[in-house]
Amino acid sequence: MRLKEYPAIGEKVFTETLNNGLTVIVVPKTGFKKTFALFATDYGGADRRFRLEGVWRDTPAGVAHFLEHKMFDMKDGRDALSVLSENGASPNAFTSSDMTAYHFSSTGGFQENLETLLKFVSIPYFTEQSVQKEQGIIGQEIRMTEDDPGSVQYYGLMKLLYRDNPIRDSVAGTVESIAEITTDTLYDCHKVFYNPSNMALCVAGDVDAEKVAKTAEELLPAAYGEKPVKDHGNDNGPAPFEKRSTVKMEVGMPVFMAGARAKKARGQALLRQSVVGDLALKVLMGTSSPLYVSLYEKGLINSGFFAEMDAAAGVSHTLFGGESASPEAVFDEISRELEKAASSGCDEKLLERVKRAALGENLRGLDSPESVCVGMARGCFNGYDALSEIPVLRSVTAEDVNDFIRENLRPENLALHIIEK
């Protein structure tokens, strides 16, 4: 395996690409009692249209999430969650817009649990009866998310920002779309996206890296599969598809989310954009910013206000929002602050304080095997080195932040979604 050391942060990483295309990443954590393993595929809710063997194929919304639910069914009738739990592991899984991951943490029995993880994720087993049953279960989950203000505000904003990109639609799909899913749909999508060349195995803990790679090589299919080409639509340019939308729900106070599309980036450029954008948002409207203090003292926002960068499905955007009795007033004050920052630049002293806080947060994150593995998998699929985030963070200048604000946070490119009482 190839070893890369990071002396500035005291980390090292072993990586290897197996003959079947699987990327194996091991972050040794000598002395750690807990080990975390994550087996992920570069396949999420937004990956509904793809090309394979020269043919474009379309699938219903919600297939990636549906697969995540059904992959725990094993051919011998057992449930993988139970098998892992009985062996002392804490297993789980998640599906985002651009990734599906299965994982466990354990303080013992790591080898057995790793073998179980690799086997059940790589060997699908679906029946018509189990698929029909799952359609009812996921249908209830979908109806719950439709009543969740957090989900409604996020997808409401995505529908404003993007016309074509399926990131605008729920990862779980709709009751109507999942009704189209059959066993053939699941087997076909598993064959396409769960081939080792489209996947990564990430482990962090006190483990033998060579043994991890050897186990994966022995248990997973040996053939190298073609990686699908994804189509996320044609959403070029900074302008949102629409600028405003309002819905009514049973909420104690109006809820809003606003944001703007950022320039498309890939690889290390995407990592740098995410770091710079996050710093820009913290300087402009983070809890240490004059704007946040002013809005809070006026009673326009509360402690639930947030501002963050988000990137998935080939696009990036800034997000900010929370509860407010006057969402439009908050939006207008933030817009004026963005115009001011674009002309006069950011507060350099505040930027340095924000950078120091971010560095501390990132260094603490290295002690979390879970966050390390998720970060490494995302970096693998997006073409960047996740452990280079701290050096990137240290290198950010005030001019970098000012450029980001001018390019990606122009008030005329903001969209606003409001949930009213």
* Cβ-Cβ contacts under 8 Å for 136 (sequence gap 6 or more): none
What one-letter code names the amino acid at 180? E
Q: How far apart are CA 319 and CA 313, in angstroms?
A: 16
What one-letter code names the amino acid at 319? L
Catalytic residue, candidates 16, 53, 68, 86: 68
Q: Are 48 and 61 in contact (CB under 8 A)?
A: yes
Task: Output phi, psi for 311, to 5 deg.
Answer: -145, 130
Q: Are 138 and 66 in contact (CB under 8 A)?
A: yes
Please report how many Cα atoms fall inside a 13 Å half-sphere around the Cα of residue 45, on the Cβ side. Answer: 21
> For residue 53, what is the DSSP state?
T
Q: How far apart are CA 81 and CA 117, in angstroms?
A: 10
Q: Are 230 and 47 in contact (CB under 8 A)?
A: yes
Number of other residues whose CB lies within 10 A of the CB of residue 15: 20
328 catalytic residue (yes or no)? no
**Burial degree of 354 (CB within 10 A; 0-12, 13-18, 19+):** buried
Supply the residues annotated as catalytic. Answer: 68
